[in-house]
Structure 1
């Protein structure tokens, strides 16, 4: 972890990149290497032996970055530094995302934010095009840099040949750095939290729930954090904010203090409990708030002044036109722990939410009826048959209300689970 956190203070020039055509332009040998990283998503190569804890240990060795792979990131950073210094002397690079938080797996990219000295300020799209041009001058190190300038957060994507790692770089939104610091702190508080988060992250990835134009990995991790707050394993953010450190109008401070949990629940029960908790959660009524550490009614955010008293800064920012109201039109409303006007799942399509809920129900059912040594394979291997979307005038949020799940529907789903389990019987 120490190695990863050193990246925060590393000095470097700017560089950016991103877009789907980036992958299409990679040479065949690079595509082959990236495919090797993605081999971890092919569970036919996965062999789970022993009890649940032994299976988790084996899975972690299979999917997590090795110490050598983490150390190689220093090579990538040094190459960027040497290249970018030619245009932006005095800039700094801050890594964020899964690799920094300790949640990186073999298919993870490196995400970096570049801080440019004020006297060298330019519009974000200018930065990304300049960075792309610099990277193109060293094709033996950086492969196919691609700038996405029209995105909400302009970035540059490139492939680093020596480390065979993809990297995304941005010049805006320094709050991502602070979010990663918070998650890194949470992941170090309790070993069960890190293991559970990696399991859920891997589960979501192999079932096509997270990724580009899907549920953001960051949002999925926040769901785990919020769940662990309900179990008193992680503290809510507001209890850590005795001081203030304002970035982009929001308080991103938190005290790096020890938090001893009296909850001795096992990782196995935490994993099963995660599926049950979000299967039964009342999304129609409540907002998921890692900041407060408990559900908040949507009604309390329908009018300025109705929010809990802990949201003083949110009210002030609204009243001074520093932010817009929290958007609550999505099925799942997951509030960012720092930027209280941001719904981290606002862009998740209802069809994808339906898919998520199906897999949550599947996971909950597996936990309830499978033996512990068959549970992990069941949630990773079983698939939900996706059906064509049906046009309806009914608010899709209503299908997730527990009261709408009839005994007949539950029986149908349980029978479907049994059939799916039978198909996988030779693997379990």
Structure 2
């Protein structure tokens, strides 16, 4: 019997009915994305969180990242927010004894025999949190390479503490901490706007990832936006939105399937192979002018990307591998959007998932076997240095059904949770969609 789960959604069939319907639908998605953005509301929520967390952590800085920051949000998109605890250095948290408050929470120095935090400055009544259930003794033995934001047990403590604080705020409802995730988060609902928010405290890599698509910086009461990949070509945003919408209709998007971010990176990688946009490595290397869009070193990864504005690009020069000659891109890809949509589905319906890794840093696929560290010359230098020199515990998971490398956190496989069944469904639907597109 035919599996209805593998059938194309009727709305997708309608979109791919003709070239005109496809282009019209992509335009509508862009308009819908623009209408979803509410910068003043987003700024208000960021300030609310900073003010709410300040009594517990001192100075904090809330930064929006993800779909809403990159201009790729659709109705129902959550607010992804990075909370930077900027007041206190790592030694306040990592040096034994575990948590020396020094007035941070209005309590005396904490020693292993007295693991509690006095929250009298945060809530009306004096409240004790028993830390023996939150932070294990093994925290002391964690890798010395962990920074304040990287330490997993510290993250679990911060997330639980933040959830406790935010539960007291009248505008924060359904506050829930998820301390055991790879990146511990706090989830909440902003009651006045009914917007769902996901708060992370780990590091700023997610913020840097967002800047690949669109850089938002705060100046006074306004957002100054300088687009990166979306500035090179308007087709980037249109294709990313179309792929995300297509995936959502086919229930391929979830934390244990393809995340929106993974799909975005896969779309960008496809466009790199078409030479519509340059690889991330190009952003590190090409531009030497005064304008810096990204210049942050985060958790030992190289995130310093100086970007040439499209108006300054007569031709793009891309390094395809570390020993390859420079190959100028004198004729940018001029394919129409409908051809790029068809190309995306064909590319990923025929991709060799069994042997290749999607590597947006290089803009080309790498062999899985190279991640066994047998041939270090073919791996990104950042990855080799971090694994061998810094001895990071986490290495890239190259043995999962599909491998997509994060362009900044090079040890992170963005699709490590995708099962063989989900991958097979993705391939089948890509092929079915390509067959429809092929007739346009």
Normalising by structure 2, we get a TM-score of 0.69
- Within the candidate set 306, 309, 320, 1:255 is matched to 306
Match of 2:236 in 1: 193
Match of 2:190 in 1: 160
Which 5+ residue runs of structure 1 have no aligned equivalent? Answer: 1-40, 372-428
Deviation at 1:324, TM superposition (A): 4.0
Q: Secondary structure at the match of 1:219?
A: helix
Task: Supply the distance in 1 between the matched residues of 2:402 and 2:305 (Cα, whole angstroms).
Answer: 26
Match of 2:76 in 1: 107
Q: Secondary structure at the match of 1:210?
A: coil
Q: Is contact 1:323-1:341 (8 Å) kept? A: no
Deviation at 1:69, TM superposition (A): 3.1
Q: Equivalences for 1:347-426 in 2 at 5 Å?
A: 347-369=417-439, 371=440
Note closer, same or farther for the CA distance 1:90–1:188 as it changes in structure 2 (3 Å cut): same
Q: Is contact 1:335-1:343 (8 Å) kept? A: yes
Q: Equivalences for 1:162-241 in 2 at 5 Å?
A: 162-184=192-214, 185-241=228-284
Deviation at 1:68, TM superposition (A): 6.2
Match of 2:162 in 1: 131
Q: Secondary structure at the match of 2:55?
A: coil
Deviation at 1:148, TM superposition (A): 1.1
- Within the candidate set 366, 375, 400, 1:296 is matched to 366
- Within the candidate set 68, 80, 85, 2:49 is matched to 80
- Within the candidate set 47, 65, 79, 1:96 is matched to 65
- Within the candidate set 378, 384, 388, 1:315 is matched to 384
Q: Secondary structure at the match of 1:167?
A: strand
Note closer, same or farther for the CA distance 1:125–1:344 as it changes in structure 2 (3 Å cut): same
Larger helix fraction of residues: 1
Deviation at 1:43, TM superposition (A): 5.4
Q: Is 1:148 aligned to 2:178, yes or no?
A: yes
Q: Is contact 2:405-2:414 (8 Å) kept? A: yes
Q: Deviations over 1:213-246 (max 9, x none)?
A: 2211111101000000011111111122139853
Task: Supply the distance in 2 between the matched residues of 1:118 and 1:42 (Cα, whole angstroms).
Answer: 54
Task: Supply the distance in 2 between the matched residues of 1:105 and 1:251 (Cα, whole angstroms).
Answer: 31
Note closer, same or farther for the CA distance 1:255–1:272 as it changes in structure 2 (3 Å cut): same
Match of 1:287 in 2: 357
Which 5+ residue runs of structure 2 have no aligned equivalent? Answer: 1-8, 94-98, 100-153, 215-227, 289-294, 314-330
Larger strand fraction of residues: 2
Note closer, same or farther for the CA distance 1:157–1:324 as it changes in structure 2 (3 Å cut): closer
Note closer, same or farther for the CA distance 1:65–1:106 as it changes in structure 2 (3 Å cut): farther
User: RMSD across aligned C-alpha pairs, in angstroms?
Assistant: 2.6
Deviation at 1:200, TM superposition (A): 0.5
Q: Deviations over 1:179-237 (max 9, x none)?
A: 11123221232110011001101111111111232211111101000000011111111
Task: Supply the distance in 1 between the matched residues of 2:336 and 2:277 (Cα, whole angstroms).
Answer: 15
Deviation at 1:67, TM superposition (A): 6.2
Match of 2:30 in 1: 60
Q: Is contact 1:188-1:194 (8 Å) kept? A: no
Deviant stretches of 4+, over 4 Å? 41-44, 46-51, 119-122
Q: Is contact 2:36-2:74 (8 Å) kept? A: no
Q: Is contact 1:76-1:163 (8 Å) kept? A: no
Q: Is contact 2:272-2:278 (8 Å) kept? A: yes
Q: Deviations over 1:281-318 (max 9, x none)?
A: 1112221110110112223333344442x622222222
Normalising by structure 1, we get a TM-score of 0.70
